[in-house]
Amino acid sequence: MPEDTTGKKYVSEDMPIGEVVANYPEAVPVLLKYGLHCIGCQIAMMETLRDGLLAHGINEEDIKRVVSEINEAIEKVRKALEEEK
């Protein structure tokens, strides 16, 4: 899996969009930012992040950036939850 700037790995580009959304709802704003408004459709349940991003015009280099942003968003939420404890 790719690493984000914090070194944490939660999501990779080969994971199905549906799995990412189900396990990490904090990824949704990032996906929407890049035009993946179909996060709830049937195809998203099987389509990988990479395939979905390519289908929406995102190139290979930018896919890595999107995945990194998703991982950073997940880590931010996790840190906030830990601080609340």
4 contacts: CB under 8 Å, gap ≥ 6: 67, 68, 69, 70, 71, 72, 75
Domain residue ranges in the chain: 17-80
CA 64 to the chain's CA centroid: 10
pLDDT tens readout for residues 39-83: 777 777 889 999 999 999 999 999 999 999 999 999 999 999 889
Report the C-alpha gap between 8 and 13 in whole angstroms.
Answer: 15
Enter the pTM of the model.
0.84
Residue 44 CA to residue 50 CA, distance in Å, equals 11
Phi, psi dihedral angles at 80 (to 5 degrees): -60, -40
Would you say residue 23 has pLDDT above 70? yes
Q: Hey, what CATH topology would domain 17-80 get?
A: SP0561-like (1.10.3910)
Residue 3 has a pLDDT of 43
Decide: 21 and 38 in contact? Cβ < 8 Å.
Answer: no
User: What confidence tens digit (pLDDT) does each residue in 1-11 have?
Assistant: 444 444 678 99
